[in-house]
């Protein structure tokens, strides 16, 4: 999912649900820098844990990962032509 799609979903949620705009404005206006740094830290933590899991699984299944990568590349080439 692209960042634009995520931003569009967040905007839709803020517009549609009544309690969400109040909560968002309260959090953003209260301490915007703290909220942003908290979100960045949370995303960074999740990214590191997912990367560690992927790295572990990749090492355990090297042949399967190689086959899956080759299949993805061939599929991409088939879609181009």
Q: Is the pLDDT of residue 56 over 80?
A: yes
**Burial grade of 65 (CB within 10 A; 0-12, 13-18, 19 or more):** middle
Give me the torsion for CA of 20, 23, 28, 34, rounded to 10°. -120
Q: What is the pLDDT of residue 35?
A: 65
Q: Is the pLDDT of residue 70 over 90?
A: yes
Lowest mean pLDDT among 14-23, 37-46, 52-61, 63-72: 14-23
Classify residue 29 as left (phi > 0), alpha (psi -120 to 50) or beta: alpha
What's this model's pTM, rounded to 2 decimal places? 0.41
Its sign, for the CA torsion 51, 52, 53, 58, is: positive
């Amino acid at each position: 999912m692209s960042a634009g799609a995520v931003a569009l979903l967040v905007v839709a949620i803020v517009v549609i649900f009544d309690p969400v705009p109040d909560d968002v404005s309260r959090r953003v206006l209260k301490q915007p820098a703290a909220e942003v740094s908290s979100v960045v830290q949370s995303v960074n933590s999740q990214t590191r844990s997912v990367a560690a899991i992927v790295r572990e699984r990749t090492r355990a299944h090297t042949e399967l990962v190689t086959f899956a990568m080759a299949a993805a590349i061939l599929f991409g080439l088939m879609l181009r032509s």
